[in-house]
Amino acid sequence: MAVALGEQVSKSLTRSVIVMALIALVGALGVSPGRAADKLTQVRMSIDEDPIVLRLADSLGYFKQEGIEIVPVDREKIAKYDYLMQEPLLKGQIDASYHWFNHTIFGARHNLPIKAVMVINDAPGMTVMVANRVKDKIHSAADFKGKNIAEGAQYGTKSVITGYLAKKAGVAPGSFTPVMVESEGRQEAVLKGLKEGKVDVMTFQEPITSALLESNMVSTLYDLNSKESTTKVLGAAFPAQSLLMAPKYIEAHPDTVQHLVNALVRTTRFVNAHTAEEIAEKLPPDYFEKKDRLAEIKFIRNTLPTYAKGDYSFSPAAVKLVVDAIQSSNFDRSEEGRWRATGDSSKVKVDQLYDNRFVHNAMQAIR
């Protein structure tokens, strides 16, 4: 009887030790004990394209461990265009948006203030290239005057950055000619333009960047694919894809915001620590449906330098850089261009565009 009781006590103690160890492990991961077992908190999110960070956070189980379920929202049902997510955020139609940081600036201009709570990419992932046939004449942005430049749509960030580089170099607005601005068939149009001598400078992202460089008809002029290279060119990091929210939602649901940021910090650290092939192995199979898997892995590999590393918060210098670039930009007369160009620029306050509290908590608590 005494032996049986002793065994019972021993087993009970062993179970207690195991439970305490599990609780300690969960705490170390930044997850509240029992949180994942509770009913998941739904976060309605507007999503730009199909970001691997969100897919990874789901497939790695980080969202579930933080008690979060992401519910993608069809943007067409809440806003006329994807760049108009500020009002749905403020109205509570969506809870968060995974999009470019510059939308906080446009929101402030139009009295639709939203905040960024985490930066995912701290470089714009762009490369400014020069046609080899004229590279002996174009050594910097100071030589853009009179040139034909392919920089995408005239309301987009590629155009903003190209114009900002030219302005910093003393080139007056309107001094160069934008070409091949249509999005459909852009890569083929630029390659054709290079062969025909109709384009001198190009600003693009992957996968177009690689296609142009592999043509052996262009050379890199400015590399904006990492925080380090971007800082060298522009003087600071350039916050790109970020997590955006309305101030009222942040105030009303700080725990949800924290758990969401926890999951994304853990995921971005995973991206920082793994190869493109390893990341691809962890992505859900449907991510590669109707896609060339090898081309997608190449895309992941080439864009890995754009992800923030170690620090996922916003620095005042980086935010000011984006504000300065946007405020000095000449947008086109398209509907989106006019919206981005208008509003009250005086309402844009650098320190009101972001909230680092949650990402600082996550970076300190999660080891």
Q: How far apart are CA 101 and CA 244, in angstroms?
A: 8
Give pLDDT, residue 50.
83
Query: Tell me, what amino acid is at 44?
Result: R
Kindly state whether residue 92 falls inside one of the protein's structural domains.
yes
pLDDT reading at 29 higher than 50 = no
Among residues 224, 253, 282, which one ends one of the domains? 224
Residues 243 and 361 in one domain: yes
What's the CATH number where 109 sits?
3.40.190.10
Kindly state whether residue 5 falls inside one of the protein's structural domains.
no
Kindly state whether residue 11 falls inside one of the protein's structural domains.
no
Cβ–Cβ under 8 Å, residues 309 and 230: no
Residues 209 and 309 in one domain: no
DSSP string, 10-63: HHHHHHHHHHHHHHHHHHHTT--TTTTTSPPEEEEEEESS--HHHHHHHHTTHH
pLDDT reading at 6 higher than 60 = no
The predicted model scores a pTM of 0.88
Residues 259 and 351 in one domain: yes
Kindly state whether residue 18 falls inside one of the protein's structural domains.
no
In sequence order, the β-bridge partners of residue 72 are 45
Count of the separate structural domains present in the chain: 2
State the residue for tokens 């970076």: 363
Q: pLDDT tens across 256-311, in order?
A: 999 999 999 999 999 999 999 999 999 999 999 999 999 999 999 999 999 999 99
Give pLDDT, residue 314.
98
Residues 302 and 251 in one domain: yes
**Domain of 148, in residue numbers:** 126-224
Residues 64 and 194 in one domain: no
Residues 71 and 132 in one domain: no
Among residues 224, 253, 275, which one ends one of the domains? 224
Residues 161 and 193 in one domain: yes
Residues 206 and 253 in one domain: no
Residues 131 and 201 in one domain: yes
Residues 77 and 175 in one domain: no
Kindly state whether residue 19 falls inside one of the protein's structural domains.
no
Strands 201-205 and 148-150: parallel
Among residues 224, 251, 269, which one ends one of the domains? 224
Q: pLDDT tens across 243-254, in order?
A: 999 999 999 999
